[in-house]
Structure 1
Amino acid sequence: MSVQNTKLGIWLMVATTFVFAMQDGISRHLAGEYNVLMVVMIRYWFFAAFVMAIAARKTGGLRAAVATSQPGVQIFRGVLLATEICVMVMAFVLLGLVESHAVFTSYPLLIAALSGPILGEKVGWRRWTAIAVGFVGVLIILQPGFRVFQVEALVPLAAAFMFALYGLMTRYAARRDSTATSFFYTGTVGCVVMTAVGIWFWEPMTAPDWAWMALLCVTGALGHWLLIKVYDVAEASAVQPFAYLQLVFAATLGITVFGERLEWNVAIGAALVVAAGIFTLLRTRAKEQGRA
């Protein structure tokens, strides 16, 4: 069993969010030049190789990683995450990093809201209040009724919903499968699905963009490796609030590199969503420790 080190876990989570934000920025660039499905497919090739390499080093090797009593759940998880990534990358192209991430940060609230009907978990009135406040924040970001509503604004919201469902299915799978098994299916199923779809949209890439693609693959593997280390040294409930820093890093990248603007409604709405999300995480932690 790993020694718990919350301070190290927090710093690793900060590093993880920075790496994932860089990955999002590279994805935004490449998807603006090439088909989204092709970009995600190549990213999954490297991710699957990384997952298999990790599994091979674990006790029992690939055989142990493949073993599952719920293949349908694991395959569904893999397909769901691959679809969510495609939708989110498309959101980066349509809306930019700032607004996409501002809306996407609602996914922990969606997890809390859906945990009752899907997992049978009890959600108290305090967390329901936080969820309501968070979605007021989402409405402030989207501004329906105050401007010509952009249908594109629903794209990152759809991605957030899919990622929340993926998170819940991962928790459901964890009741009977190990983390190593779930991680293996996440990479391999996604690779198979994206290859079957993305290969039909192949486009020739320039040499500089192949370099960006290589960096995208490396950041993806590095981000997941860091995330594994985070949960290896610290409790998830202690470090999860720091995952919201990805919004800060991605927004900074969008403004400085891609010339995006931080509108007042996005800033206020995102602040409400993040505050509600952190409150929900803290209430969940309190409940797990028997104080709620």
Structure 2
Amino acid sequence: MSEAGFPIFRFAGLPGAVRGALWLMAANACFSAMAGVVRVVAAEMHPFEIAFFRASFGALLMAPLLLRFGRRSLATTRFPMYLARGAAMVVSTLGWFTAVAHMPIVEVTALTFTSPLFATLGAGLFLREAVGARRWTATLVGFAGAMIVLRPGLVDLSAPAVAAMASAASTAAGLLIVKSLSRTDSPGTIVLYLNLLMVPMSLAPAALVWTPPSLEALVWLAGLGLIANLGHLSFARAMAATEASAIAPVDFCKLFFTAALGYLAFAEVPDALTWVGAAVIFGSSIYAARRESLAGGRGAAPTGAAPSAGPGVST
């Protein structure tokens, strides 16, 4: 049969929105798997120490890239942006790992969907970006969805829940930075700098709670570093493939991934209010993204349009 009878699948030939969606699904699968690993290892060590090992193994696994391309893999004119992103992602990772260690995984995931809302809030209040009434309304509705998940007054507002929200806010800062970096630097460079900078930045909090890890824990932590790198590489490629607003709806698959993980691995069953709150948060994020896209076109700054990156882990 002729070659034409067997069309060769060419990923690069797919439309940018399709490639971006597939990369984002791959990133979310990795970030969901990370939550499971963190929960397992948290039985032995503090989340702050897990964050340090995640960064250390992540940096170690990126060494082949550094050895192959040498200084070219670190070539950038935007080092201050990398420092800012590294700091934001350390805060995000510490908060996210703390939340995952002590809260139902799907609830933590639902709260991470507030990241684009925090991005809109930050753009309007600190970057002086013009944010219309509809986007402000969507942002407020989204945070109301977070209150549905947290239920303050009905359920005690725990430190892990506060950590999850702090992680979402820090991830929002990282979202703005990585979208900007993806326009000038390669995904490999972006992830390499993230890992290299997170190692020293996460060492101080880890030192405060340090306990020697077991051999089994080290194996899990090495896997965590690998999965984190794959997730961030996939996310960076998703952001480079298309406009964030075009693939933002795909981000909701993360909730189903983590719900399945929580149920199968940890017997966690999310209640109806968690799903309702997650839907409200996510719907508000999508609406804000669409309004921003209509207002600013393709040249608009990526604030509410960006999907939640998972852990700075974001992560």
**TM-score normalised to the size of structure 1?**
0.85
Are 1:62 and 2:71 matched, yes or no?
A: yes
1:27 has 2:35 as partner: no
**Structure 2 counterpart of 1:93:** 101
**Structure 1 residues 184 and 125, CA gap change in structure 2 (3 angstroms):** same
Q: Cα distance 1:36–1:66, how it changes in 2: closer, same or farther (>3 A)?
A: farther
Matched residue type, 1:238 = A
Match of 1:84 in 2: 92
Residue correspondences, number: 287
Q: Percent identity?
A: 26
| Distance in 2 separating the partners of 1:7 and 1:153 | 34
The one-letter amino acid paired with 1:8 is: R
One-letter amino acid of the structure 2 residue matched with residue 242 of structure 1? V
| 2-structure distance, mates of 1:198, 1:163 | 20
1:44-63 alignment runs, 5 A limit: 44-51=55-62, 53-54=64-65, 61-62=70-71
In structure 1, distance between residues paired with 2:191 and 2:279: 31
2:76, 2:185 within 8 Å by CA — same for their partners in 1? Answer: no
> Does the aligned pair in 1 maintain the 2:147–2:277 contact within 8 Å?
yes
Aligned match for 2:263, one of 255, 259, 263: 255
For the aligned residue pairs, the C-alpha RMSD in angstroms reads: 2.9
- 2:123 counterpart residue number: 115
| Deviation of 1:170 (Å) | 4.4
Q: Give, as a single letter, the amino acid of the residue that structure 2 aligns with 1:19.
A: C
Find 1:213's aligned residue among 210, 216, 221: 221
Q: 1:31 to 1:290 in 2, by over 3 A?
A: closer
* 1:167 equivalenced with 2:175 (yes/no): yes
Kindly provide the amino acid, as one letter, of the partner of residue 160 in structure 1: A
**What stretches of structure 1 of length at least 5 have no aligned partner?**
none
Q: Which residue of 2 aligns with 1:133?
A: 141
Change (3 A) 1:12 1:274: same
Structure with the larger helix share: 1
The answer to whether the Cα contact below 8 Å between 1:51 and 1:188 also exists between their aligned partners in 2 is: no
Classify 1:247/1:67 alpha carbon distance in 2 versus 1 (closer, same or farther; 3 Å).
same
- 1:186 to partner: Cα distance: 2.2
SS, match of residue 43 in structure 2: helix
Name the aligned partner's letter for residue 32 of structure 2. Answer: A
TM-score of the superposed pair, with normalisation by structure 2 = 0.79
Letter in 1 for 2:53: I
Unmatched tracts of structure 2, length 5 or more? 1-11, 301-315
**For the Cα contact (< 8 Å) 1:115–1:168, is it kept in 2?**
no
How far the C-alpha of 1:7 sits from its partner, in A, is: 2.0
